Copies of this chain bind each other. A is one copy, B any other.
Amino acid sequence: MKLKMDVALDTKECWNCPIKHQAVCARCEPDELERLEEIKYYRSYEAGQPVIWAGDHMEFVASVVTGIASLSQTMEDGRTQMVGLLLPSDFIGRPGRDSAPFDVVAVSDLTICCFRKKPFEDLMTTTPHIGARLLEMTLDELDSAREWMLVLGRKTAREKIASLLAIIARRDAALRRNTPKDGMHFDLPLTREAMADYLGLTLETVSRQISALKKAGIIKLDGKRKVVVPSLDLLINETGDDIDGGPIV
């Protein structure tokens, strides 16, 4: 698996880019940022390429800059379950463990900002901001993971699809710094199969339910991958959740 790596990017962009990519360092002082700069480097992957397999030794932690990656598990007989979608600003890896717990695969073209693990851990012990920020992010992720259990365990196929679309719509709006509003549209970054793996369904069921939502006028499709949501409330109404918003995964 060959990789394009160490791509040159504007180093400033990592900390000031338009997509709130201050994931790791939100409250750091300039000199602390300086030390982070010294141990960071970029990697890029094409859609479909693996970033790391479960069990592999992991010599870095990282943060997604652009693109989408998936976190997933596969059983011996081939059943797979996606356990997380990594969008820009999401964190990859775990200080204190040296092997990856899940497969990480680039879903679209992907750029991540890596930090060598050992120096990053050293930095954490001397810079309390970073640990605190990481704890905050991890707690948020834990809540999201638990919200997703409700989707997997108790929702119908239609509700699952609606939930996924609503989440992508909200995150997409957040990245563009739009408030979610009616008439929004976005690209579906996932194949039907990837959606199925995320939702615990088969790809046929995903396709059928998307068709059903289209027929019901909840969404419109422009080609296979562009989705238009005439009314976000109508979509959320199909998720089975109450109206107040819910998690942004």
Residues on A lying within 8 angstroms of B by beta carbon are 71, 73, 75-77, 79-81, 83-84, 94-97, 101-102, 124-125, 128, 131-132, 134-136, 138-139, 141-143, 145-150, 152-154, 199-200, 240-242
Chain B residue nearest in CB terms to A141: B142
A136 partner residues in chain B, CB cutoff 8 A: 96
Decide yes or no: A146 and B101 within 8 Å by CB, A94-B139, A131-B131, A152-B200 being known contacts: yes
Q: What chain B residues lie within 8 Å of A147 (beta carbons)?
A: 73, 83
Closest chain B CB from A99 CB (angstroms): 11
B residues less than 8 Å from A80 (CB atoms): 154
User: Can you give 20 A-B contacts (C-beta < 8 A)?
Assistant: A73-B149, A75-B150, A77-B240, A79-B154, A81-B149, A81-B154, A83-B146, A83-B147, A84-B146, A101-B146, A102-B146, A124-B132, A125-B128, A135-B135, A135-B138, A138-B139, A149-B149, A149-B152, A153-B199, A154-B200
A128 neighbours in B (Cβ, 8 Å): 125, 128, 131
Given contacts A101-B143, A142-B145, 18 further A-B contacts (CB under 8 A): A73-B149, A73-B150, A75-B150, A75-B154, A79-B154, A81-B149, A83-B149, A96-B136, A96-B139, A101-B146, A128-B128, A135-B138, A138-B138, A141-B142, A142-B142, A145-B146, A145-B149, A152-B153
Which of B125, B146, B200 contacts A71 (CB under 8 A)?
Answer: B146
A83, B150: Cβ atoms under 8 Å? yes
Q: Is there an interface contact between A200 and B240, defined as CB atoms closer than 8 Å?
A: no
